[in-house]
C-alpha cells in the first residue's frame, strides 16, 4: 500500500495563475481571497524558520509557494521536501511583503518522491549524453529543452491545422513494407514470422499516398515516422518525421506555394514572425521565396557553366577543373547533382526553391513540360539544408515502369539504395493518376530552424544513441 494518493483532481496551471491579470493589481502583503489548487514539482526550497518559500513548477510554468507555520498543515514536513518531489497544494493566492505573487499553502499532499536529483539548480545538466539518455531529467533541469519540445508540438499542430484548412485528409499507411520504395535509401529489415518473410521499415510514404489519390483521395497527407538505415550525424537520425502531401489537379508550382504556406505559416504561428535568426544569422522565411534553377545556382556559386546538355564527359572535366574528385558512377544527371550538392547546396542560406532536376536522379517525377532531360521537381533549401522535396508526380504507368526498371537494374548492379519495381504501385497507376503535385517536408529540420537548434538531437526527444554496455 502506498501512502500516495491515486488522484489529485481540480488543479489549475501554475503558469496560468502566475500570469492571471486578476492578480496583477494585488499589492505587497495583500491577499486575493481566491483559493486555487495546483500540482507539480518542488524545484526550489527556501525554508526560513517559521515561514517558508518554495517554487512549484508544472508544465505551464511556475509559481512561488508561501507557507506559515501557523496556517499551513504539516509545516515542518513541507520544509523538508526534497527538490523534485511532486506535491499537490491548495491555498489562497497572495502577494508576499516583498512583492512576489504566491500561493499560501493551507493543505497539501505528497504525490511522489524524487529519489534522484535534477542537477545543479543554477546550471542544470549540461552533459549532452545525460541530456539525451535521460531526457526526463533534461526536461526538468533545462528550461530551454522543455521550451524546444513544446515548440515542436506546436509546429506540428500548426502544419496539421493548415493542411486540414485546405481540405487535406490525414491518413495512415503501412510502416512495414514487403518491398521498400519511394526514396533512394537503404532500409531497415525485419522479419515477419507468420508470413515467413522479410519486411522493410518504410523509407517513404510516397507510393501508398499516390495510390490513395488514384483511389479518389484528392488531397491527402501523412505525417509520420520514416526509417533509413544510414549513419548518425547532427542532421541525420535513422528515424525521423516526414510529412508527405499530395494534391490532385495540381503541379509543382502549386507545391511551391504550399511549402511556403506551411513553413512560413508555422513560423508565424509559433514565433509570431517569419524573420528569424538561425545560428547567429538572419533568415527571412517571408514568402515568396526565391525561385532559381539548379543550374543557375550552380553557376552563381562556382562561376562555371554546368548544364545537362554538355554531357557527362564535359561535366566531369569541368568538375575536375573546380577541384572536385567525383566518385559517383552514372550519367550527366548524377554528375550534375553531385557537383551541386558538393559546391552549392551547403552554402545556400535561402530559403530558396531550387528547381528543375535531372530526370536521371528523379525516378518518380514527371518530365518537365518544356525542358527535355529534366523533371518538374524542386527542393527547398534553407540554412544549407534540404527542407523539402517536391514534384509534379509522374502519372504515366508505362514511363513509370521504364524508370523503375532502370532503378532495379542499378539495384541489381549493387546500388543498395536504388529502387525496385513495385507492381502494386504500377498497377494503381494503370487505373489512372490524375495530374498531381506532391511534396515531402522534413519536419525535424523545420523544427531545428524554428527552434534555433544546431543538431537534430536537440529536437528529438529520444535521439538514436549506441546502447550503453554494462
State the minimum distance, in angstroms, from the CB of residue 199 to RNA: 21
Q: From the list 77, 113, 127, 172, which residue makes contact with RNA (rule: CB under 7 A)?
A: 127
State the minimum distance, in angstroms, from the CB of residue 50 to RNA: 3
State the minimum distance, in angstroms, from the CB of residue 230 to RNA: 4
Binding positions for RNA, 215-274, rule CB under 7 A: 228, 230-236
* Preceding peptide of 2 cis, ω within 30°: no
Looking at 2-10, 266-274, 430-438, 461-469, which segment touches RNA (CB under 7 A)? 461-469
Q: From the list 7, 115, 123, 369, which residue makes contact with RNA (rule: CB under 7 A)?
A: 123
Residue with cell string 558512377: 329
Residues in contact with 153: Cβ distance below 8 Å, sequence separation at least 6, in sequence order: none
Residues in contact with 145: Cβ distance below 8 Å, sequence separation at least 6, in sequence order: 131, 135, 138, 139, 458
Looking at 12-20, 90-98, 156-164, 169-177, which segment touches RNA (CB under 7 A)? 90-98
Q: Please state the three-class secondary structure of 88-146 as a single string.
A: EEEEEEEECCCCCEEEEEEEEEEEECCCCCCCECCCECCCHHHHHHCHHHHHHHCHHHH
Residue with cell string 539495384: 411
Give 277's strand partners: 282
Q: From the list 100, 239, 284, 314, which residue makes contact with RNA (rule: CB under 7 A)?
A: 100
Binding positions for RNA, 318-347, rule CB under 7 A: 327, 334, 337-338, 341
**In 141-279, where do the E strands start and end?**
169-170, 176-177, 189-192, 197-201, 219-227, 239-248, 275-278
Q: How far apart are CA 230 and CA 456, in angstroms?
A: 14
Q: Closer CB to RNA, residue 169 or residue 465?
A: 465
Q: What are phi and psi of 441, to 5 degrees?
A: -125, 130
134 to 173: interface string for RNA, x by CB under 7 A: ----------------------------------------
State the minimum distance, in angstroms, from the CB of residue 358 to RNA: 9
Looking at 214-222, 302-310, 361-369, 432-440, which segment touches RNA (CB under 7 A)? 361-369
State the minimum distance, in angstroms, from the CB of residue 138 to RNA: 10
Q: Closer CB to RNA, residue 270 or residue 308?
A: 308
State the minimum distance, in angstroms, from the CB of residue 207 to RNA: 13
Q: Closer CB to RNA, residue 81 or residue 283?
A: 81
State the minimum distance, in angstroms, from the CB of residue 166 to RNA: 26
Binding positions for RNA, 46-75, rule CB under 7 A: 46-51, 53, 55, 64, 66, 68-70
Q: Closer CB to RNA, residue 166 or residue 236?
A: 236
Q: Closer CB to RNA, residue 51 or residue 461?
A: 51
270 to 309: interface string for RNA, x by CB under 7 A: ----------------------------------------
3-class secondary structure, 276: strand
Residues in contact with 345: Cβ distance below 8 Å, sequence separation at least 6, in sequence order: 354, 381, 384, 386
**In 359-462, where do the E strands start and end?**
374-382, 385-392, 436-442
Going from the C-alpha of 274 to that of each of 162, 257, 292, 382, the distances in angstroms are 16, 15, 21, 13
User: Considering CB under 7 A, how many residues would be counted as binding RNA?
Assistant: 71
Pairing of strands 290-293, 352-358: parallel
Binding positions for RNA, 379-418, rule CB under 7 A: 417
* Sheet (strand 197-201) strand order: 176-177, 197-201, 189-192
Tell whether residue 433 is a contact of RNA (CB under 7 A). Answer: no
Amino acid at each position: 500500500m502506498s501512502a500516495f494518493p491515486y488522484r489529485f483532481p481540480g488543479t489549475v496551471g501554475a503558469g496560468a495563475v502566475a500570469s492571471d491579470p486578476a492578480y496583477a493589481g494585488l499589492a505587497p502583503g495583500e491577499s486575493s481571497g481566491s483559493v486555487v489548487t495546483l500540482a507539480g514539482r518542488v524545484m526550489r526550497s527556501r525554508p526560513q524558520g517559521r515561514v517558508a518559500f518554495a517554487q512549484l513548477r508544472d508544465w505551464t510554468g511556475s509559481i512561488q509557494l508561501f507557507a506559515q507555520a501557523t496556517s499551513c498543515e504539516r509545516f515542518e514536513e513541507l520544509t523538508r521536501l526534497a527538490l523534485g518531489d511532486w506535491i499537490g497544494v491548495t491555498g489562497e493566492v497572495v502577494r508576499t511583503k516583498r512583492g512576489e505573487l504566491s500561493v499560501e499553502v493551507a493543505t497539501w499532499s505528497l504525490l511522489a518522491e524524487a529519489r534522484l536529483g535534477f542537477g545543479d539548480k543554477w546550471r542544470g545538466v549540461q552533459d549532452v549524453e545525460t541530456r539525451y539518455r535521460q531526457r526526463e531529467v533534461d526536461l526538468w533541469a533545462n528550461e530551454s529543452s522543455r521550451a524546444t519540445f513544446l515548440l515542436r508540438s506546436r509546429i506540428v499542430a500548426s502544419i496539421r491545422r493548415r493542411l486540414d484548412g485546405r481540405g487535406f485528409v490525414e491518413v495512415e499507411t503501412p510502416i512495414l513494407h514487403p518491398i521498400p520504395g519511394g526514396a533512394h535509401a537503404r532500409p531497415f529489415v525485419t522479419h515477419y514470422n507468420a508470413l515467413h518473410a522479410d519486411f522493410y521499415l518504410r523509407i517513404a510514404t510516397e507510393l501508398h499516398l499516390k495510390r490513395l489519390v488514384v483511389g479518389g483521395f484528392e488531397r491527402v497527407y501523412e505525417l509520420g515516422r520514416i526509417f533509413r538505415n544510414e549513419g548518425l550525424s547532427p542532421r541525420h537520425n535513422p528515424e525521423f518525421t516526414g510529412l508527405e502531401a499530395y494534391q490532385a489537379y495540381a503541379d509543382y508550382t502549386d507545391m511551391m506555394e504550399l511549402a511556403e504556406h506551411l513553413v512560413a505559416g508555422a513560423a508565424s504561428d509559433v514565433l509570431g514572425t517569419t524573420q528569424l535568426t538561425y545560428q547567429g544569422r538572419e533568415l527571412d522565411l517571408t514568402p515568396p521565396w526565391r525561385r532559381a534553377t539548379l543550374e543557375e545556382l550552380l553557376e552563381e556559386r562556382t562561376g562555371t557553366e554546368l548544364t545537362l546538355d554538355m554531357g557527362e564527359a564535359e561535366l566531369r572535366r569541368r568538375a575536375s577543373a573546380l577541384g572536385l574528385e567525383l566518385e559517383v558512377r552514372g550519367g550527366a544527371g548524377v554528375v550534375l547533382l553531385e557537383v551541386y550538392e558538393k559546391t552549392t547546396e551547403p552554402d545556400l542560406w535561402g530559403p530558396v526553391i531550387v528547381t528543375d532536376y535531372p530526370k536521371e536522379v528523379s525516378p518518380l517525377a514527371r518530365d518537365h513540360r518544356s525542358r527535355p532531360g529534366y523533371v518538374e521537381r524542386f527542393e527547398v533549401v534553407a540554412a544549407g539544408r534540404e527542407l523539402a522535396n517536391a514534384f509534379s508526380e509522374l502519372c504515366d504507368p508505362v514511363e513509370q515502369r521504364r524508370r523503375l526498371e532502370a532503378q532495379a537494374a542499378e539495384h541489381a548492379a549493387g546500388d543498395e539504395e536504388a529502387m525496385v519495381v513495385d507492381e502494386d504501385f504500377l498497377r494503381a497507376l494503370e487505373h489512372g493518376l490524375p495530374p498531381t503535385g506532391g511534396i515531402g517536408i522534413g519536419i525535424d529540420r523545420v523544427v531545428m530552424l524554428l527552434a534555433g537548434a544546431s543538431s537534430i538531437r536537440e529536437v528529438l526527444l529520444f535521439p538514436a544513441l549506441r546502447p550503453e554496455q554494462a
